[in-house]
Amino acid sequence: MKTNTIAEAKNNLSHLIHQLEVEESIQLTRYGKPVAVMMSETHYKKLTSPAKSLNSAIINWRNQLDDTQDVGLRDDELKSIRTESAGREFSWDK
């Protein structure tokens, strides 16, 4: 993340705003300590948009992939580690 002092930001605000169109955020410091972050509207909307369900996030991720990308385990590998058993016995009473 790019860093600027508050004084530099004050003197170059329009330039920093143009930079935010390319970079996601710019950290502002006072006496060398981080005090604020400027970010693009796009990045802000990503951070403040309602959380999606895990399922919709996975579907969105899958839709962005093409068929040539290797993203992990193949179907035959998954089948080899999955078990068909009913699982372990469990009771709330102990």
Vertex 70 angle, CA 69 and 75, to 5°: 120
What is the extent of the structural domain holding 60?
A: 51-81
The amino acid occupying position 77 is E
Q: Is 33 inside any structural domain?
A: yes
Q: Is 6 inside any structural domain?
A: yes
Residue with tokens 């002092």: 5
Q: Look at the alpha carbons of 62, 66, 71, 74 in this order and tell me if their dihedral is positive or negative.
A: positive
Q: Which two tokens mark 78?
A: 């998954």
Cα–Cα distance for residue pair 60/90, rounded to 1 Å: 35
Q: Is 21 inside any structural domain?
A: yes
pLDDT of the chain, 94 residues: tens digit per residue: 899 999 999 999 999 999 998 888 999 999 999 999 999 998 888 888 877 788 887 788 777 777 666 667 777 777 777 777 777 788 888 6
Q: Which two tokens mark 22?
A: 């390319």
Predicted model pTM: 0.51
